């Protein structure tokens, strides 16, 4: 009987050791890497999401301006720091296509209902969108997922406030204003058993929710008109690139073929944003691929 009890303790202990602990900073970093990309060095992961974009102006009804579909293709790299510990960074490219809210076709031109001007649509084509590194120890203390387990799911709620110098603004934004001011909000829902299993390399059963509250898009040419935009979308981590909607793959094939692959994991380029990309188009450094 004692031998059986001892064996049971050993077996249960072994089973417990086969799972990562979300409350342990080192394990939490590994779990987030699995959710964001993969623990396999350089293995690609693809996120896809869709939703609606609205205007919000004081004293007016909110308007549905666009529908959208977005994708991000990424890979991760192990990095080590003598003080912060063993972590990772990911590299990625990101697209978001603005669609006509009536027929959901790709927009090339758009008649601005606020100014009555027809403008060229500049879709999001950010290359790269790279992270700076996630470690067990950081400036704010031990790393935490800030999540919650309910049933067989694990929920995470993340807010990313943005406030920085606007690339299209002048040199005196600290004095006269004009800083870029926005916030992005993410919800991740993952299968708990999959994300903590020792054998898992990339958590596949992941749903993402995305909300962005921001200024008018630069190509809308809204000037100093008061108001904001909010984007609300939902999607998931795909098994591979081929699972993207066919119409997205057709657009990528024709106009954005570079976005079929993530950047090299050693990529050290400065991140692209909708604003820096638009500035490059204005300056003639790049062209708008879908311009009519």
Q: What digits encode the pLDDT tens for the residues 104-153?
A: 999 999 999 999 999 999 999 999 999 999 999 998 899 999 999 999 99
Give the CA dihedral 257, 79, 33, 21, nearest 10 degrees.
170
pLDDT at 11 over 50: no
Domain boundaries, the chain: 2-282
The set of residues, in sequence order, having a beta carbon less than 8 Å from that of 215 and lying 6+ positions away, is 180, 181, 182, 228, 229
Question: Could you tell me the pTM of the whole model?
Answer: 0.92
pLDDT at 8 over 70: no
At 71-93, the pLDDT tens digits run 999 999 999 999 999 999 999 99
Report the alpha-carbon distance of residue 35 to residue 203 in Å, rounded: 5
């Amino acid at each position: 009987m004692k031998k059986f009890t001892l064996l049971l303790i050993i077996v249960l202990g072994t089973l417990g050791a086969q799972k990562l602990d979300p409350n342990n900073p080192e394990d939490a970093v590994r779990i987030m890497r699995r959710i964001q990309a993969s623990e396999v060095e350089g293995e690609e992961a693809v996120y896809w999401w869709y939703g609606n974009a609205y205007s919000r102006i004081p004293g007016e009804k909110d308007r549905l301006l666009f529908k959208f579909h977005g994708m991000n293709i990424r890979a991760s790299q192990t990095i080590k720091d003598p003080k912060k510990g063993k972590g990772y960074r990911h590299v990625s490219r990101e697209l978001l296509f603005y669609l006509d809210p009536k027929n959901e076709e790709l927009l090339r031109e758009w008649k601005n209902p606020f100014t009555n001007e027809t403008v060229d649509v500049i879709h999001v084509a950010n290359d790269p969108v790279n992270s700076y590194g996630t470690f067990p120890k950081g400036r704010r203390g031990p790393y935490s997922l800030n999540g919650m387990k309910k049933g067989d799911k694990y929920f995470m709620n993340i807010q990313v406030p943005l406030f920085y110098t606007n690339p299209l603004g002048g040199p005196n934004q600290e004095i006269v204003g004009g800083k870029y001011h926005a916030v992005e909000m993410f919800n991740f829902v993952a299968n708990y058993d999959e994300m903590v299993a020792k054998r898992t390399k990339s958590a596949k059963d992941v749903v993402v929710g995305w909300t962005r509250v921001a200024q008018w898009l630069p190509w809308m040419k809204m000037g100093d008109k008061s108001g904001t935009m909010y984007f609300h979308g939902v999607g998931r981590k795909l098994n591979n690139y081929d699972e993207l909607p066919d119409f997205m793959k057709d657009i990528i094939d024709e106009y954005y073929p570079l976005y079929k692959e993530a950047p090299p994991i050693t990529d050290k380029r400065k991140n692209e944003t909708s604003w820096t990309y638009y500035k490059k188009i204005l300056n003639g450094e790049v062209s708008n691929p879908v311009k009519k």
